Amino acid sequence: MAEPDGWSIDRAMAEMTVAGVFGPGLRYVSFERDHYFASTLLFGTLTVTAGDDSDDAGGEGHRRQRQLAIKFKHRVPEMRAMCNNDLQFHNEILFFERIAPFLMACARSTRDHECKHNRSRVTPLLPRYFYGRNDCGDRASQDMVVLESVCLHEYRLSDQLVYLDFDHLAVALRTLAKFHGLSYRAKHDDPVKFAETIAGVKETQWDADGQWYVRGDGLGKLLETALDRLAERHGDGMAARRFRTELLGDARRTLRHVMEPVEPSAVLCHGDFNWNNLLFRYDSGGRPVDVMLVEMSNVRYGSPALDLSFFLYMNTDRRLRDARWDELLDAYCAALSSAVSDSAGAVWVPDRARLDEEMREHSFYGLAHVSFSVRLMAEEHRQVDPAEFINVDDDEALCLLLAFGGDRATDTLADAVQHFLDISYNRTMSSLE
């Protein structure tokens, strides 16, 4: 990736080192690029020295290395605008510099001494943050977020792409419960400061014109393809007809409605809780035992069902959902209770009955995201270039999406919609009336 004139990543690393970003009293030696991922994520090795690096001082022994992951914005302004890069960087920097420290401080203030020495039970693992810059405008090409690369800690993406097995799903949901538990604890301990701390989170999914990722009436049309497929399978049942009239009559309005936070259940959500934003650690037998959360740029305040519905509809197939849905939600609920158990019941968290209600009322969010994500990720033979969606109108963009993934993507979305119908239409949806 070409670097802008008059600027280089090496110079930026040197300036950060002098400023003490990587620790006090260090001197810059070098930055070695390892590889780029999708042109916006650079992995590299920073070498610094803690003192005189001359040969007669034995400088080699004073050298330290840090493995870094450096996020950049899209270099093409239209791409940057389409992806809301400026707002995403704002959120990620806000999260690591203000929100995460506050949430973790609340977790550390536990009244149970034993739990102080077992914080892994109540706090999720996040990558170490070093630096963030979000100047935007003419200097957007130099904006970056610098994190520690977690490769040294043996965390990696799952080999199972999109569909995960039960063990991967369960450990991911336990980690998500820890993350959500931080919000419940913080709201209990200091609700005013919690509200003030998350107030700076910016909207990254809706633009100033009220358009979502899929513009116009594209969301409704994508979900209509799933209903058409279900009608081919079973005929047009009452639940499907209600879904069309009550939710798809104005799909964008429905989505806005389900994304609104409702107390007391609302939490700071990850916002993009999917397999590609989860790094797993494995034991010697290859079993997943822990998860690190990455990509915090789409955090938002809302129902825990926002994260849960997207994750479960995107990362499970129909067979596993039908067989083990209850086990998965039970695993999340148990971990959520455990994350606040040191407070002897003082911190309110939703029980399984309340969580089921949240899922009925807010899981449309997961369907909305799956409606286009499953098509983009179903392309096995090529990586979809977001630039294809620049300078096309709403109808052309929808046609592009519908061309991705073929029948398999339609069947996957239809399976998810069928599950939503099964859990949501055993009672009237009074919240939308």
DSSP secondary structure of 102-154: HHHHHHHT-S-HHHHT-GGGT--B-PPEEEEE---GGGGGG-EEEEE-GGGGT
Q: Are residues 36 and 182 in the same domain?
A: no
- Residue 245 lies inside a defined structural domain of this protein: yes
Q: Are residues 164 and 60 in the same domain?
A: no
Mark which of 18, 51, 72 sits at the end of a domain: 72
Mark which of 56, 72, 88 sits at the end of a domain: 72
Q: Which residue has the tokens 């690369």?
A: 149
Q: What is the rounded CA–CA span in Å between residue 111 and residue 353?
A: 28
Smallest Cα–Cα separation from 253: which of 297, 301, 206, 300? 206
Q: What is the rounded CA–CA span in Å between residue 299 and residue 39?
A: 23
DSSP secondary structure letter of residue 156: B
Q: Is the pLDDT of residue 363 over 60?
A: yes
- Residue 137 lies inside a defined structural domain of this protein: no
Report for 76-90, 228-242, 308-322: range of highest mean pLDDT: 308-322
- Residue 124 lies inside a defined structural domain of this protein: no
Neighbours of 285 (CB within 10 A): 6
Distances in Å between the alpha carbon of 298 and those of 130, 357, 378, 389? 19, 24, 22, 20
Do the Cβ atoms of 419 and 313 come closer than 8 Å?
yes
Overall number of domains in the chain: 2
Q: Which residue has the tokens 């040197």?
A: 14
Q: Are residues 57 and 162 in the same domain?
A: no
> Tokens in use for 256?
């806005």
- E strand or H helix at 364: helix 364-377
Q: Are residues 290 and 400 in the same domain?
A: yes
- Residue 138 lies inside a defined structural domain of this protein: no
Q: What is the CATH number of the domain that holds 327?
A: 3.90.1200
Q: What is the rounded CA–CA span in Å between residue 238 and residue 374?
A: 26
Per-residue model confidence as pLDDT tens digits over 238-248? 999 999 999 99
Mean local confidence (pLDDT), 43-71? 78
| Residue-number span of the structural domain to which 43 is assigned | 9-72
Phi, psi of 368 (to 5 degrees): -60, -45
Q: Are residues 227 and 354 in the same domain?
A: yes
Split at pLDDT 50, 70, 90, the class of 52 is low
Crossing angle for the helix pair 364-377 and 304-315, to the nearest 10 degrees = 40
Q: Are residues 192 and 328 in the same domain?
A: yes
Split at pLDDT 50, 70, 90, the class of 3 is low
Per-residue model confidence as pLDDT tens digits over 300-338? 999 999 999 999 999 999 999 999 999 999 999 999 999
Q: State the pLDDT at residue 1.
A: 52
Do the Cβ atoms of 319 and 332 come closer than 8 Å?
no
Q: State the pLDDT at residue 75.
A: 87
Mark which of 49, 72, 95 sits at the end of a domain: 72
